[in-house]
Amino acid sequence: MEIFGYIASVFIGVSLGLVGSGGSILTVPVLVYLMSVNPLLATTSSLFIVGVTSLVGGIRAYLKHLVDFRAVSEFGIPSIFSIFLTRHYLLPAIPSPMFYIRHEAVSREMFLMIVFAVLMLGASISMIRRIPEPETGTHPETAPSRALPVILIGLIIGLITGLLGAGGGFLIIPTLVLFLKIPMKTAVGTSLLVIAINSLFGFLFSLKQFTYDWMLILSFTGLAIIGIFAGSKLSERIPPASLKKGFGWFVMIMGIYIIARELFL
């Protein structure tokens, strides 16, 4: 099964290069089910893999002038604050087992994987649904009515990143396009940089909490970086909307599978 895990790591990078999201949605299930990594360790390892891979993609986007740094700061500051609180206080406070259903214990790991699967279903709907391009090229200089939603979503993304090891690109991109009126290509580049910052800070906040398999993490990261270069090239030739929709259906099937596996198999 491990060979399929390494192949999947390339597609993690391809996903990030194509649509600016979806990398961590794949990383955690691949680590857990194909590489037999503990779910809690998988969520933290995912932060490094996705963080470094997204940083490479974000730098490439910056060199093409496809990063909005104002949006990066609007998302990044509340997200980092939320990640710190989640990794240091919320995650350690979650008991295991969490509760019992008909005398069957629901462990913290099982609960997190089910929550992650629900997140995957939400992400898949976001990918399948078409996001309309904004009429204006940049967001207004003064938009107080939009500041609060962006900050709130930034806090939510930080919670998701800290708790589940997911970058939150499926929330970042619609917010950039719909609230901040940023063109889709710039939204993808901006999303990559936000995901990189959030993921790497999340990993640093958890660095001393686990013993890591660095051989596995670095192998996955290297293959994912190859994938992000391939994804960036593909995005120049193939309509990203079609690929994003197809990937969304795949993520939905994966989410349903995880729920079925954790609850019934």
DSSP 214-240: HHHHHHHHHHHHHHHHHHHHHHHHS-H
Where does residue 84 rank: exposed (0-12), middle (13-18), buried (19+ CB within 10 A)? middle
Q: What is the mean pLDDT of residues 33-43?
A: 90
Mind giving me the DSSP string for 6-69?
A: HHHHHHHHHHHHHHS--HHHHHHHIIIIIS---HHHHHHHHHHHHHHHHHHHHHHHHHTT---H
Rounded average pLDDT over 136-152? 61
Q: Which domain holds residue 196?
A: 2-263
- pLDDT confidence bin for 21, thresholds 50/70/90: low
Across 39-43, 123-127, 199-203, 249-253, least confident range: 123-127
Instruction: Give the pLDDT of residue 193.
Output: 92
Distance CA 241, CA 115 (A): 27
Number of domains in the chain: 1
Percent of the chain past pLDDT 70, that is, above it, reads: 89
141: confidence class by pLDDT, cuts 50, 70, 90: very low
Q: Which two tokens stand for residue 236?
A: 């120049």
| 192-220 mean pLDDT | 90
What average pLDDT does the segment 68-93 reach? 88
Query: Poorest-confidence range of 78-82, 246-250, 256-260?
Result: 246-250
Strand ranges, E, within the chain: 99-101, 104-106
Q: How confident is the model at residue 136 (pLDDT cuts 50, 70, 90)?
A: low
Bridge partners (DSSP) listed for residue 123:
none
Tell me: pLDDT of 85 over 50: yes
Element (H, E) at 204: helix 184-205
pLDDT of 20 reads: 66
Q: In this model, does residue 145 exceed pLDDT 60?
A: no
φ, ψ dihedrals at 100, nearest 5°:
-120, 140
Tell me how far apart the alpha carbons of residues 188 and 259 are, in angstroms, rounded to a whole number: 29
Residues 134-138, mean pLDDT to the nearest whole number? 54
Q: Which pLDDT belongs to residue 48?
A: 93
Q: Nearest to residue 146, comparing CAs of 70, 236, 213?
A: 70
Give residue-wise pLDDT tens across range 94-113. Answer: 887 887 877 778 888 888 88
Contact present, 49 and 12 (Cβ < 8 Å):
yes
Q: pLDDT digit string (tens) for 39-66?
A: 889 988 998 998 998 899 889 889 999 8
CA atoms of 168 and 153, how far apart (whole Å): 10
User: Using an 8 Å Cβ cutoff, are 197 and 78 in contact?
Assistant: no
pLDDT at 163 over 50: yes
| pLDDT surpassing 50 at residue 261 | yes
Strand partners of residue 106:
99
